[in-house]
Amino acid sequence: MHNDPRRDPVSPPWRVGSAAGLRVESMCRTVPRHLPTDTFHRVTHVCFTLQVDPAKLDAYREAHAAVWPDMLRALHETGWRNYRLFLRPDGLLVGTLETDDFAATQEAMARTEVNGRWQAAMAGFFPALGELRPDEGMLVLDQVFHLEEQLAHLA
């Protein structure tokens, strides 16, 4: 579909178009036309699913209504941005985030002390994972559509 040599297998391809004096790159980033593209870094959008035990949905919601402050700081410091979780009534959990490098972000988070405690506290919500920690059991989804990317193709 795209032959951009800057594309990596984790993130969707990014394209440059133009609109109203701005260079528009997918990932919803706008750059003034006079600045070089390589001045700005690419953002990787990630979407993943997990399955929460339907009998424990209320407790899962409570745990996430007041995430430990040191866990919040660790997520921020290791590159998790705009991180959101969505929960369906049957326990399907969908998470989304933005990061520069998802693999590096996961590795950095795994090295934090608080992550080990958090994963142990969350493990009971994900019985289908068996011995895997929740952060090891994420099913990362492939992006199949991005509105701004396709609009950039029209420019």
pLDDT of 22 above 90: no
Whole-angstrom distance, CA of residue 62 vs CA of residue 121: 13
| DSSP characters over 46-76 | EEEEEE--GGGHHHHHHHHHT--HHHHHHHH
Q: Which of 30-34, 37-41, 58-62, 75-79 has the lowest mean pLDDT?
A: 30-34
Whole-angstrom distance, CA of residue 94 vs CA of residue 99: 16
pLDDT per residue as tens digits for the range 94-127: 999 999 999 999 999 999 999 999 999 999 999 9
pLDDT of 46 above 60: yes
DSSP-assigned beta bridge partners for residue 95: 48, 85
Domains and CATH numbers, the chain: 44-140 (3.30.70.100)
pLDDT band at 27; cut points 50, 70, 90: very low
